[in-house]
Amino acid sequence: MSAAVNKKSIRTSVILPEDAHARIQALADANNVSAAWIIRTAVLRFLEEYGDQHELPLRLPKVKKAGGT
């Protein structure tokens, strides 16, 4: 992740559920870092793990219709 520090950064925004925002802010406060640092770190770790996959393991399995094959 340290390589990302030297690269140009782009500002973006996300909409989070209120409870997720509160939990992130509490973690940030407890660890003396910003909420942005926690979110940035989480996104970079996600990309390290899944960035080269074409399909993410986030989809629900397809449900067969009743009476179908």
Domain boundaries, the chain: 16-50
What is the pTM for the complete model shown? 0.67
Tens of pLDDT, residues 5-45: 568 999 999 999 999 999 999 999 999 999 999 999 999 99
What is the pLDDT averaged over residues 34-60? 88
What is the pLDDT averaged over residues 40-64? 83
pLDDT confidence band for 58 (50 / 70 / 90)? confident
More confident site: 57 or 43: 43
Residue 28, Cβ density class (10 Å: 0-12 exposed, 13-18 middle, ≥19 buried) = middle
